[in-house]
Amino acid sequence: MEIKAIWQVMAAASLFFGVSPMSLAQDRCAYMADTPRVQFNEAWSEIRNIPRFKDEFETTAEFEERQRVALSEIPSHIVIEASIDHEYVRYNADEQKVEIITYAISNHSISEDGRRAAFGWRSDLNRAGYELESYNLIYWALEREIETTGSYEGQNSFGVSRTILSQNVKYRAIIERPASDFYEYLWSPNRDQFTSGGAPIAFEISMPTEVARTEMAHLRAAVGYAPAYPYYADAETRYTPTTQATYDRNEMHHYLIGDIQCIAIYSQDGDLLATRTTQ
């Protein structure tokens, strides 16, 4: 879709919701209007087909051709569906605006054990020379997927017994890079500059009260990113139970890697309402 057509879509949304097209972030977010949104697992299954390492029995030219062919099947930008936690969505009746707090979209974290396993010493990426050792990363994470597969009675060395839940847990995230300092994060270079009364507001969307009454509960979000080397990382870890945390967990960690460029809000009909560029 040409830029002109993108603005026509934005303008159509503004007629109903009162969103000015000029309030939508430009350039890095332009593709969010017409790029199909996919689930994380769909993107993961495609990105994992990209070869990251040269096999010892192939030449560099052969590897580069194999990688080129795989990359030709991957779009330059991918837009991934993001859930909205409506606890952090509120309506300002005086201003006739929907206010969406950052926590509504980015309130989940990655596992430190998973980060070390995927990027740390002796991981596949580490052996290939890729390092990501920072504890403060620019990333966006989905909510964990937790599947309880059973339970058993466990006992520690002091004879304390507990019922232990056997679980499979999946962590999923897009990781961009280490933050430049402690204060930089996904939404802003400085957390202190991006707060309002203690609540960091990511979006303010003009919307008449009668529309907001029905539309707010159905707002949708998505994250746009550009895949970049090494494209993905994965790892498996194990969480052993304690008397306080009675979980026996097999943990899978799936990380897409690239430039996180934009976060967008859509109506329940799929109209693009607002975009915000990220760091």
The whole-angstrom separation of Cα 274 and Cα 271 is: 9
Q: What's the pLDDT at 198?
A: 56
**Length of the chain (residues):** 279
The whole-angstrom separation of Cα 231 and Cα 236 is: 18
Q: What's the pLDDT at 133?
A: 67
The whole-angstrom separation of Cα 148 and Cα 101 is: 31
H or E, element range at 5: helix 3-17
Domain count, the chain: 1
Q: Output the furthest CA–CA distance in the chain (Å, rounded).
A: 71
Q: Which of 91, 111, 46 is nearest to 205 (CA)?
A: 91
CB atoms within 10 A of CB 260: 24
Decide: 160 and 149 in contact? Cβ < 8 Å.
no
Q: What's the pLDDT at 131?
A: 80
Q: What's the pLDDT at 229?
A: 93
**Which DSSP string corresponds to 35-91?**
SPEE-HHHHHHHHTTS--S--TTS-HHHHHHHHHHHHTTS-S-EEEEE---GGGEEE
**pTM attached to this predicted model:** 0.84
H or E, element range at 212: helix 209-215
Q: What's the pLDDT at 199?
A: 66
Domain coverage including residue 59: 3-277
Q: Give, for all 279 residues of the chain, the pLDDT tens digit.
A: 332 233 333 333 333 333 433 344 457 899 999 999 999 999 999 999 999 999 999 999 999 999 999 999 999 999 999 999 999 999 999 999 999 999 999 899 999 999 999 998 888 898 888 887 667 889 999 999 999 999 999 988 888 899 999 999 999 999 999 888 877 888 876 665 544 455 688 999 999 999 999 999 999 999 999 999 999 999 999 999 998 999 999 999 999 999 999 999 999 999 999 999 987
Relative to beta strand 272-277, strand 247-266 is: antiparallel
The whole-angstrom separation of Cα 167 and Cα 146 is: 7
Q: What's the pLDDT at 190?
A: 64
Q: What's the pLDDT at 223?
A: 97
* 17's tokens: 């919701």
Chain centroid offset of residue 152 CA = 34
- Tell me which amino acid residue 147 is: E
Decide: 260 and 173 in contact? Cβ < 8 Å.
no
